[in-house]
Amino acid sequence: MDVHGRIREVLAETIKDDEGSARRPLSEGDFVRALQRRGIIDDVMRDLHFTQESAPNIDAESLSKPAGHHVDQDSTHLKKTNLDPSRRYLYLQVLGGKAFLEHLQDSEPLPGQVCPTFTLYLHFRNQRFRSKPVPCACEPDLKEGFLLEIHRDSFGDGSKMVDATAMLSMCDTVHLVLIKTDTSGETTLVSSYFLDWRIVLGSPSCKTCFAVEMMGVGSESKIPAGVLTVSLELFPPLQETLNTDVIVTQQSLERQRTAEKERLFLVYAKQWWREFLEIRPSHQSKLVKIFAQDENGVNRPVCSYVRVLRAGRLLESPRQAARFVSLLTHERAPVVGGGGKQEQWCTLMAFLCRGKGDCEDHATLLCSLLLGFGLDAYVCVGTKVNSGPHTWVLTRGTDGSVTFWESLTAHRYLHRPIDPDAPPLVPQPKPSSPYRTVGCVFNHQILLANCQPSDAVELCVFDFQNQSRWKAMSEEALKSVCAPGSTTSLPPLPPLCAPSLDPAEVSNHLELEMRFLVSEHRKDLDLATVWDDHLSYLLSSALSAYEMERCTGVSCGNEEFQDAVRRAVPDGHTFKGFPIHFLHRNARRAFATCLRSPFCEEIVCCRGDHVRLAVRVRVFVYPENACAVWMMFACKYRSVL
């Protein structure tokens, strides 16, 4: 309380005492010592808290441990975080944005008006954060502070405070991802930026402020999207800051080392490709992917997009992981004008923050998760029947069995190749998968090009040790540019975030909205609406069984549901039900889709004697707030013939 008044008193006394003794100029150190003597600094430090966005389930004990945990901050939860005096922190503040010229003509939103928003996401050394959404504008009011913990990686040193030299050797960047969300909830990736924070190590008092030019993505990666003002501050500050030349030299050396590794890999890749073409002239047309462009237009080896990703306790099994990936929306990279598909692979952070991406993003994420679950998984690049280039995932069992995983739907297909040399009367397996050709397969360590006479999937033998069928790239060469930490240009691997949505709350909210829409629709048709709450409740078990079947491939609980419905529907009455599945939580969009089905329209617009309606909504929430939304409309009425 009144700390400023107490400091003023101490300063006045110190000056007075000094005038009585030798008249030497007073330094800042003299004032600090005077404040320390009176215990004022200790009082202030004891009461000092930093407000930090934090998920509600993080306990105080976990904050004193190394930041191996991660928190997806829900913007509704703000809590005080005590600084651990034995740790060093980087306090990153965003002080506002400017020059987002795409929104130059946007008018100021009225109070309570729904408008498009910007949200800034951060990832740094296994910690993830999210800002509060702010209205889109030419100068968006993005003002937010993030407390990032800097800790040592080396085993046994986790409790020591990291020093300037150790921090200089940390080439982990802060990944900033800016997402725009429109009024209907659709997300767009605006910018993806890697911030080198080590500039703060050479700043006086370990504090610096500068402008960050956020570039666009894809075809607009050379055009600025806007500017963010960023302030960095180290807590506690360094006793001695580093010389700026030392920092610049370190960054320059890292860039040179990375550029040299990438140059050598490119030379090797060209040689390897020439050798592959010499095997058979038809190889020129095979889909062999060695490099892919990310959202910033940077060409990176495809193997760098796959990492071993463990989901902790957020996902329980490989099939649940496949279900989670399939719930992220499929959307091709946006292209201005015609000209077919523009290929753009995404860094994992950008894909997760946006919540949607192309088939390549889904396949690399699923492959990373399956590797985390200990499976021998690979991404396949090839074509799909009737739909051109496609990527999917393949796993090999220890018994030699091969399974294809479709990352967009979570469907699995057992692969049994046709033997073209078998006698004509020998029965051959029928192709079960929708894939036509395969050009290459890869994961985080290996890339193999298909050099079998035919690249047709149905004839393909996935025996990767056989060099006459698969030409492998050198694992050492791939490790030099794709292994974690091998180059500074590799984006860091973000952890998955636990969902912040409450499944019961969002299910209830969506169900009430659907009831309202059904009642309004029937009112327009001059029909009364009487709800049967008991029947609505009974539909839950069916929706739960549908989701379990999607997750595990096993159907169960149908007999109990049918029995319960028979008991709830009296003799002489008819029951009709219509289940439907969505990946979004927009009630109006969902209802419009439902009405396009004649079965659903028949239920919603049901006329007859003793008509009772029921609707049940179940939202199943997965990591990253990915949602499987199941709805079931039902009615029962007396049959009058």
pLDDT for position 13? 77
pLDDT for position 72? 42
pLDDT for position 51? 52
In this prediction, residues 406-411 reach a mean pLDDT of: 95
Rounded to whole angstroms, what are the CA distances from 262 to 123, 347, 474, 487?
25, 18, 14, 9
389: Cβ–Cβ under 8 A, 6 or more apart, which residues? 287, 341, 381, 382, 383
Q: How far apart are alpha carbons 394 and 376 in whole angstroms?
A: 8
Amino acid at 305: Y
pLDDT for position 20? 57
pLDDT for position 67? 41
- Low-confidence winner among 7-11, 256-260, 451-455, 476-480 (lowest mean pLDDT): 7-11
pLDDT band at 102 (very low <50, low <70, confident <90, very high): confident
Residue 547 DSSP code:
H
| Phi, psi for residue 491 in degrees, rounded to 5 | -70, 145
Query: Is the omega angle on the peptide bond into residue 236 within 30 degrees of 0, that is, cis?
Result: yes
Residue 422 DSSP code:
S
* Residue of 432, 435, 351 lying closest to 393 (CA atoms): 435
Residue 41 has pLDDT above 90, yes or no: no
Q: Show the tokens assigned to 451.
A: 């050099």
* Residue of 385, 427, 409, 384 lying closest to 328 (CA atoms): 409
pLDDT band at 283 (very low <50, low <70, confident <90, very high): confident
pLDDT band at 430 (very low <50, low <70, confident <90, very high): confident
The rounded Cα 280 to chain-centroid distance in angstroms is: 41
Please tell me the CATH code under which domain 251-418+428-482 is placed. 3.10.620
Residue 416 DSSP code:
-
What is the SS3 assignment for 411?
Answer: coil
186: Cβ–Cβ under 8 A, 6 or more apart, which residues? none
pLDDT for position 79? 56
113: Cβ–Cβ under 8 A, 6 or more apart, which residues? none
Residue 338 has pLDDT above 60, yes or no: no
Residue 337 has pLDDT above 80, yes or no: no
| pLDDT tens readout for residues 321-330 | 999 999 999 9
Query: CATH says 88-242 is which class?
Result: mainly beta
Residue 215 has pLDDT above 60, yes or no: yes
Question: Which long-range contacts does 340-343 make (Cβ < 8 Å, 24+ apart)?
Answer: 341/388, 341/389, 342/218, 342/219, 343/292, 343/293
Rounded to whole angstroms, what are the CA distances from 244 to 168, 201, 241, 248?
11, 8, 9, 6
CB 298 within 8 A of CB 258: no
pLDDT band at 7 (very low <50, low <70, confident <90, very high): confident
pLDDT for position 73? 40
pLDDT for position 157? 57
More reliable by pLDDT, 429 or 638 = 638
* Residue of 446, 438, 444, 443 lying closest to 462 (CA atoms): 438
In this prediction, residues 199-224 reach a mean pLDDT of: 90
Q: How far apart are alpha carbons 89 and 232 in whole angstroms?
A: 10
pLDDT for position 69? 40
pLDDT for position 154? 56
pLDDT for position 11? 76
Amino acid at 524: D
In this prediction, residues 187-207 reach a mean pLDDT of: 92
* Residue of 18, 21, 44 lying closest to 31 (CA atoms): 18
434: Cβ–Cβ under 8 A, 6 or more apart, which residues? 384, 385, 406, 413
CB 381 within 8 A of CB 438: yes
pLDDT for position 240? 86
pLDDT for position 463? 92
**Entry field: residues in the chain:** 641
In this prediction, residues 246-265 reach a mean pLDDT of: 94
More reliable by pLDDT, 554 or 61 = 554
In this prediction, residues 94-113 reach a mean pLDDT of: 82
Of the chain, the percentage scoring pLDDT greater than 90 comes to 63
503-638, CATH topology level: Pathogenesis-related Protein p14a (3.40.33)
Question: Which long-range contacts does 425-429 make (Cβ < 8 Å, 24+ apart)?
Answer: none
Residue 597 has pLDDT above 70, yes or no: yes
Residue 40 has pLDDT above 80, yes or no: no
* Residue of 579, 457, 446, 605 lying closest to 525 (CA atoms): 605
In this prediction, residues 261-270 reach a mean pLDDT of: 95
The rounded Cα 112 to chain-centroid distance in angstroms is: 29
Rounded to whole angstroms, what are the CA distances from 306 to 245, 302, 377?
36, 8, 10
| pLDDT tens readout for residues 366-384 | 999 999 999 999 999 999 9
| pLDDT tens readout for residues 58-80 | 343 434 444 434 444 444 455 56
| pLDDT tens readout for residues 382-392 | 999 887 899 99
Rounded to whole angstroms, what are the CA distances from 266 to 260, 269, 283, 292, 472?
10, 5, 20, 13, 16
pLDDT for position 255? 93
Mean pLDDT of the chain: 87
Q: How far apart are alpha carbons 170 and 150 in whole angstroms?
A: 9
Residue 176 has pLDDT above 90, yes or no: yes
The structure tokens 């463990």 sit at 310
In this prediction, residues 493-521 reach a mean pLDDT of: 95
pLDDT band at 526 (very low <50, low <70, confident <90, very high): very high
List, in sequence order, the alpha helices (H) in 141-243: 164-168
- Low-confidence winner among 3-17, 286-300, 504-518, 605-619 (lowest mean pLDDT): 3-17
Residue 8 DSSP code:
H
pLDDT for position 1? 54
Domain ranges of the chain: 3-46, 88-242, 251-418+428-482, 503-638
